[in-house]
Structure 1
């Protein structure tokens, strides 16, 4: 790349004051080096003003270069504390944070200057980056030695260092020594405004620490005690809930934040709550978030845009997801992965392959996540040869090392298509250690194709890898039940009872008028339970009239046929659909999210229900989306 050359004023002697303004206007490190060369040529590098400006720009500008900054620093005859702080900060913000600690040691050993209040925050940040708890404790001692124990900014950085290094106990002790709470009947208040603001910062650091350590209850307790909260306080709790699987709690807190209105939602708030909205399929709330961003001038960049694309796709509106993606001003690999992954979830294999071609033509290199989505799309569409080709292409042309997820996709691809022996052989010959997920994929395929022998072997491995995970036992029971082996079912159920292993209950969510309703299997706790049961009976009668025979092979208990059919009648997605039918106007699309894979009986029932009631029913199960309309499903019964 050619960089424009600087043209300093042509005079016999360039006084530093004539060139320093040009230093401040440098746009690249190359331009800065050109000016540096002029200073060397005219023997002016000894001027402290010149050397300081060069050091500052090479350390803190957008084009900063810490290595070059260090070379400038080393040429200074006796750097002052500002110079030391500048170069230490440059490295603490870089990928070579350990060099910031080495420079700090050199500063102490040289003994010409002492660290000040601006030195320690950068050094502590470096400790956090390199996970240097031992070094952090030593620096804590120096903070005390140099008399900065009352500096709120240093204390907050000390607490953050302990949090980031995993020492939540030390962080907690330091926090309680420095926070200044005064109890009152209305909550918690503090003595003065400045101290109050400092306490908010400290509380935010601790909340983040508790969240990082999985102590969400403790974090929420501290959050609730705060008399004053910043947007950071809210964002930390919302993202903490979402990242740890507490999706309803994340959304409830987000709603509370909106209702209280004491702080404004920002870009981080929206990015934090969107994964929870995605997981629960709360499309209306997701639309509100999108509209809020547009109306409040929050830029929809690659990060927020990718989160919106992911939300729309996972909430069933793949058309809107593609529309948001197409409107992004810039797209990186994260945005491409979001739209390709969304299309794959909806079974749109052709669109996935077209989008992948566009991605490569645009110059964006695919990541390993991209190939997971592509292989998943091939799996759900039965494109075995294309899947094999993409897997080889990923390794041989792109040079990506396959992860366990890629092998899992290949096992799923081969297993669904009936290549069970090849799938098992792939697992046995993988260069990396197999996990429970990959064996579950094989076991699920064995159930689909009723291959008891390979299924039994897969289940035995699974029970060793994850002895208390119900998945292997349930899948093996399903396999035995489908083949009529009730003795085998009884043995597996006895093992589960002896080990106190319980099957995860089926759970479905449906959003009606912005409110998320949750239903478990055989759930009668809803306020409209009587109306729901009446609708379920109506649905059952209509299914019977057209000759629908319930697929009772899904019931793992040996009981009479009528009782088995009754159990199928109250699966959670059927209850959610019944509630949707009585709660919405005709022709309204029903969108449901389910935590488990949809069973054969519910799948065949949903096709008929969509025809009887002239409804489009969209169900997202653990694996993919099913779009039921006019008696058929988008998966073409290949799932």
Structure 2
């Protein structure tokens, strides 16, 4: 049926080709000279029609060229390519390779198996022997379907046809085994191929780099990061692909410090970062809040003429937002020549985490006016903005709009945002009812959001109930135990606190330590509670004492209700004195020029006492202090905070 349709389409265009001298030259004998000016599929069909009319289509070279254009060019159409191939009476090896490659590379799931079937036909016909260009496509088809058993049979044919020493074929074999998760066979081929790598020419060395990259990638795919790093460190030669593979693997799997360390090591070497490197490194830089390094990446892109498109632009907007410079994020966003839904999501989420809820909603309106269709991620940003700004009605409206107007199915993250929104506003019963009536099973993140709200609102009864649910859901997660213990401590119920902590001890559950860090001159300085390990510990201690004295002069009184220990008042005040974010602020004050801003990142939610203290510190020392905690940003300046004490 397809063949008939193709013939009709092409013959219909024959009349048009008679007046299309710009498409082909009738006086030219060689068919390949008629292709250079093809710009559209219609142009290609006109040339095809002319070949049918002039019977050039029976020339194997002409048919092969037509097939190649349909199968592999920018004007590709697999349906037509298949039809053309079926009309070739005796396909040569080039034609077989072309159709097999087209099907193997196709994004349609049914095509790779069809590529293997055609390869089987080619072998069974026996008229044309496969060559070194056939097997890479066949092995790619095996990789796409994840069938190592078929791959091994193809491997046997590679050996039979004497192509097991060809670099490209061997690379394709290793890639196939890696993609199918058969690392033992991949390692066997790899070891044999790189065994004699001491005396190789440049081309051979490049081939070996490819093999090293493949085997490293295989370990990454299996989550074996230690093995991947061990191999990477042993590589005799590394390409930019080698570095990108490790940076991306670390960043995407939560090893952000290792990703940044790898990125910095790359800069020391002789391999220059490229577009992929920057896109891979920026999320890790953002997670750690390394603004100076992020700025370097931005400058590097400009200096080396790496185009800032919507993908790299979104990564830069996200980086500046998460590193505390929302104004720079807005500037990058506005300068982007092209914006897609991911770019809009990045700026809306950035504004939300900085507490600029109204601005986030304004940008959503701009997004709609630009004709960009919002995604489910867009609504996570909007609901987060409403939550941080206490905009309950707007949050309810967006949630309903997403479901009833846009037709998006809420994910667990949307329900989490709604529970957070309602909980912050003190609407605990409504939040609990929402959880109980969810069409999907609530996870521990949802219940943690409600438990956190119970703690803030002081609802011990609901808090106990939610904590017990959490303990059943995630019995070894410290969060629920710590939150319940803290609620008991805030009420002075030390017996209940003791019982919870004994339970944690019996189950070997340990609380995540609070930590804060600050980047200065490209170096990350990290501090824990009561940390005295820093090389400038004595200076930091002296600065903390000075801060304490200045705070008292301002009338500050320590909020010891935040110290959830059954100790004397003086010890509670001392404990507050050495919270990690205060140590980071003290270090920043002694290490930077007067009136320069400080940017602190904290792994937990900032406590009320530290929040009150840093507000006053910003006034006393005339500093802008930006703190990113686990939930959001706080911009402290002139004794005030951007969150307006609602967080």
The TM-score range, normalised by the shorter chain, is over 0.9
Question: What SS does the aligned partner of 1:519 have?
Answer: strand
Q: Which residue in the other structure is 2:216 paired with?
A: 207
The structure 1 residue matched to 2:103, chosen from 91, 103, 106, is 91
The structure 2 residue matched to 1:223, chosen from 232, 236, 239, is 232
Q: 1:567-608 CA deviation, whole Å, 9 max, x = no partner?
A: 221111111100000001110100011111111111111111
Q: How does 1:351-500 map to 2 (within 5 A)?
A: 351-500=359-508
Q: Which residue in the other structure is 1:533 paired with?
A: 541
Q: Which residue in the other structure is 2:518 paired with?
A: 510
Q: Which residue in the other structure is 2:185 paired with?
A: 170
Q: Which residue in the other structure is 2:342 paired with?
A: 334
Instruction: Tell me whether 1:238 sits opposite 2:247 in the alignment.
Output: yes
Q: Which residue in the other structure is 1:266 paired with?
A: 274
Shift of 1:38: 4.0
Residue pair 2:70, 2:80 contacting (<8 A) in 1 also: yes
Residue pair 1:251, 1:277 contacting (<8 A) in 2 also: yes
Residue pair 1:340, 1:374 contacting (<8 A) in 2 also: yes
Q: 1:217-262 CA deviation, whole Å, 9 max, x = no partner?
A: 22222122222211111112222222232323222222222222x2
Q: How does 1:285-296 map to 2 (within 5 A)?
A: 285-296=293-304
Q: 1:590-637 CA deviation, whole Å, 9 max, x = no partner?
A: 001111111111111111111111110001111111100111111111
**Structure 1 residues 465 and 130: CA distance shift in structure 2, 3 A:** farther
Q: Distance in 2 between matches of 1:353 and 1:69?
A: 49
Shift of 1:485: 2.5
The structure 2 residue matched to 1:160, chosen from 160, 172, 175, is 175
Gaps of 5+ in 2: 1-12
Q: 1:150-193 CA deviation, whole Å, 9 max, x = no partner?
A: 122122222222222333333223222222256xxxxxx45443
Shift of 1:430: 1.4
The structure 1 residue matched to 2:614, chosen from 606, 618, 634, is 606
Q: Distance in 1 between matches of 2:22 and 2:363?
A: 55
Identify the range of structure 1 (146-155 vs 519-528) with the bigger mean alpha-carbon deviation.
Answer: 146-155
Shift of 1:442: 0.8
Q: Distance in 2 between matches of 1:397 and 1:116?
A: 56
**Structure 1 residues 78 and 529: CA distance shift in structure 2, 3 A:** same
Question: What SS does the aligned partner of 2:527 have?
Answer: strand
Q: Distance in 1 between matches of 2:196 and 2:375?
A: 49
Q: Distance in 2 between matches of 1:365 and 1:237?
A: 34
**Structure 1 residues 107 and 635: CA distance shift in structure 2, 3 A:** same
Q: Distance in 1 between matches of 2:24 and 2:203?
A: 54
Q: Distance in 1 between matches of 2:111 and 2:283?
A: 37
Q: 1:34-63 CA deviation, whole Å, 9 max, x = no partner?
A: 433444455543332332222111222223
Instruction: Tell me whether 1:58 sits opposite 2:67 in the alignment.
Output: no
Q: Which residue in the other structure is 2:202 paired with?
A: 193
Q: Which residue in the other structure is 2:84 paired with?
A: 72
Q: Which residue in the other structure is 1:185 paired with?
A: none
Question: What SS does the aligned partner of 2:83 have?
Answer: helix
Q: Which residue in the other structure is 2:353 paired with?
A: 345
**Structure 1 residues 346 and 129: CA distance shift in structure 2, 3 A:** farther
Shift of 1:21: 4.1
Q: 1:78-134 CA deviation, whole Å, 9 max, x = no partner?
A: 222211221222222221254233233233234232322112222222333333333
Instruction: Tell me whether 1:283 sits opposite 2:298 in the alignment.
Output: no
Question: What SS does the aligned partner of 1:364 have?
Answer: coil
Shift of 1:398: 1.8
Residue pair 2:352, 2:360 contacting (<8 A) in 1 also: yes
Q: Which residue in the other structure is 1:186 paired with?
A: none
Identify the range of structure 1 (315-324 vs 482-491) with the bigger mean alpha-carbon deviation.
Answer: 482-491
**Structure 1 residues 457 and 10: CA distance shift in structure 2, 3 A:** closer
**Structure 1 residues 341 and 499: CA distance shift in structure 2, 3 A:** same
Identify the range of structure 1 (308-317 vs 120-129) with the bigger mean alpha-carbon deviation.
Answer: 120-129
Residue pair 1:305, 1:325 contacting (<8 A) in 2 also: yes
How many residues get paired? Answer: 629
Question: What SS does the aligned partner of 2:387 have?
Answer: helix
Q: Distance in 1 between matches of 2:173 and 2:551?
A: 66
**Structure 1 residues 619 and 501: CA distance shift in structure 2, 3 A:** same
Q: Give the TM-score of the pair, scaled to structure 2.
A: 0.92
Q: Which residue in the other structure is 1:125 paired with?
A: 140
Shift of 1:467: 1.4
Q: Distance in 1 between matches of 2:222 and 2:310?
A: 29
Instruction: Tell me whether 1:249 sits opposite 2:258 in the alignment.
Output: yes
Q: Which residue in the other structure is 2:3 paired with?
A: none
Instruction: Tell me whether 1:26 sits opposite 2:77 in the alignment.
Output: no
Q: Distance in 1 between matches of 2:394 and 2:153?
A: 57
Identify the range of structure 1 (134-143 vs 399-408) with the bigger mean alpha-carbon deviation.
Answer: 134-143
Gaps of 5+ in 1: 183-188
Q: Distance in 1 between matches of 2:573 and 2:22?
A: 94
Q: Distance in 2 between matches of 1:181 and 1:597?
A: 55
Q: Distance in 1 between matches of 2:238 and 2:76?
A: 35
Residue pair 1:344, 1:376 contacting (<8 A) in 2 also: yes
**Structure 1 residues 634 and 12: CA distance shift in structure 2, 3 A:** closer
Q: CA RMSD in A?
A: 2.3
Question: What SS does the aligned partner of 2:284 have?
Answer: helix
**Structure 1 residues 141 and 546: CA distance shift in structure 2, 3 A:** same
Instruction: Tell me whether 1:179 sits opposite 2:179 in the alignment.
Output: no
Question: What SS does the aligned partner of 1:24 have?
Answer: coil
The structure 2 residue matched to 1:554, chosen from 535, 559, 562, is 562
Q: Distance in 1 between matches of 2:623 and 2:439?
A: 48
Q: 1:359-416 CA deviation, whole Å, 9 max, x = no partner?
A: 1222221111111111111111111111111112112222222111111111111111
Q: Distance in 2 between matches of 1:351 and 1:10?
A: 54
Q: Which residue in the other structure is 1:35 paired with?
A: 47
Shift of 1:298: 1.0
The structure 1 residue matched to 2:599, chosen from 566, 581, 591, is 591
Q: 1:302-358 CA deviation, whole Å, 9 max, x = no partner?
A: 111111111111111111111111111211112111111111111111111111111
Q: Which residue in the other structure is 1:48 paired with?
A: 60
Shift of 1:563: 1.6
Q: Which residue in the other structure is 2:119 paired with?
A: 107
Q: Distance in 2 between matches of 1:543 and 1:10?
A: 82
Q: Which residue in the other structure is 1:143 paired with?
A: 158
**Structure 1 residues 633 and 10: CA distance shift in structure 2, 3 A:** closer
